[in-house]
Amino acid sequence: MSVWAVVAAAGAGTRMGTQHSKTFLPVGGVPAICRAVAALRSACDGIVLAVQPDEQPEFERVLASCGQRADGYAPGGSTRQQSVRSALQCLPRDCQVVLVHDGARPLASTELIRRIVSETMAHGSAIPALPVTDTIKQVADTGDVTTLDRQCLRAVQTPQGFLLERLRAAYERAGERQFTDDAAVMEHAGMPVHLVEGEPGNIKLTTQMDVRRAEAMLGMGASRAGIGFDVHRLAEGRPLVLCGVRIPFERGLLGHSDADVGAHAVIDALLGAAALGDVGTHFPDTDDRYLGADSLRLLRDAVRLLHENGCRPGNADVTIVAQRPRLQPYVQDMRARLSQAMGIPASCVSVKAKTTEGLGFEGAGEGISAYAVASVVRAVV
């Protein structure tokens, strides 16, 4: 039997905040449409994409960039149903089974797609579905709320498989009436639909959060590393503050803020991991707001910036290089202060103190330096 796929990719990514097709969005560095087409190719003889006509050249370019191509393009309509109807007209004469898929579902596995094909051949249709785990409420126009019986509900996905002849007949029956999936078009025509088990990972990209979920499921882009480094000069008449802990010593670090090298190195590592700049860009030493500032406050501000960009700190490891004073007694306090400011457990924060055996500016007591490595995690929920 000749098996073809129809991919609906004509929708605008309004809720995704993109003007172009959301299927162009990279998921783990690969455009969603390329992932969807590559998976379908494993079980289909040909693939027709329903796209907005002015976007066809971009689809061709994006697919080619991943070594993929479509076997045909159909002009997409203003609704999903119009787009699929248009693509059904473009299938070759010998096509008997059609899989209708959403271009914004990049994670359907080849195993699922092959199963949809074989179940369609055996039962005339195959619709991937999952039990509903949330309790679903029905809200009437009047505001009255009723609870639906979860046992009777299923969440359905794509690709949905059909015998082409039957799906075309169902589309004839549907006329201009709109449905949200092709199984519903079949149901309206009084034709049975056969449900098969879907995949929890086969999510549809609707918002940016879905892209992050998809990447997390691929184990990609989930965690990123950054590096930070800082030096301040030791001077008379200044307090010594390291990683938020005030340490008794005859001199302290010179700087516009409290000159906490440990905290500054951690901030730079976190900002670096998220590619969000550095201490100097966010807390410039020309700004009087940061004169004598507590650097843990700056660290909290940096963490807030991460959150605003969909990230959170994962861990941090900082090494402070100082000949004197002896820092070991303060290490646990430093870990506690940093972890509080970062909003992560102290078990995720490491502080180490080193000397240079008298070598270099740290060894001569001219200054103190700090190195930090930190990870940030893309927030999935």
Cα–Cα distance for residue pair 32/7, rounded to 1 Å: 12
Residue 35 or 264 having the CB closest to Mg ion: 264
Please tell me whether the peptide bond between 159 and the residue prior to it is cis, using omega within 30 degrees of 0: yes
Residue 119 or 230 having the CB closest to Mg ion: 230
Cα–Cα distance for residue pair 66/376, rounded to 1 Å: 29
- Which residues make Cβ contacts (< 8 Å) with residue 266, sequence separation at least 6? 228, 243, 299, 316, 318, 338, 342, 372, 374
Residue 264 or 378 having the CB closest to Mg ion: 264
- Among residues 1, 215, 217, the alpha carbon closest in space to that of 99 is found at 1
Smallest distance from Mg ion to CB 285, Å: 8
Smallest distance from Mg ion to CB 246, Å: 17
Smallest distance from Mg ion to CB 306, Å: 19
Give the binding site for Mg ion (CB under 5 A). 230, 264
Residue 213 or 264 having the CB closest to Mg ion: 264
Cα–Cα distance for residue pair 61/205, rounded to 1 Å: 21
Smallest distance from Mg ion to CB 279, Å: 6
Smallest distance from Mg ion to CB 240, Å: 14
Residue 3 or 263 having the CB closest to Mg ion: 263
- Which residues make Cβ contacts (< 8 Å) with residue 250, sequence separation at least 6? 236
The residue sitting closest to Mg ion, measured at its beta carbon, is: 264
In this structure, which amino acid lies at residue 362?
E
- Start-to-end CA distance of the chain, whole Å, equals 43
Residue 182 or 230 having the CB closest to Mg ion: 230
Cα–Cα distance for residue pair 209/206, rounded to 1 Å: 8
Smallest distance from Mg ion to CB 314, Å: 23
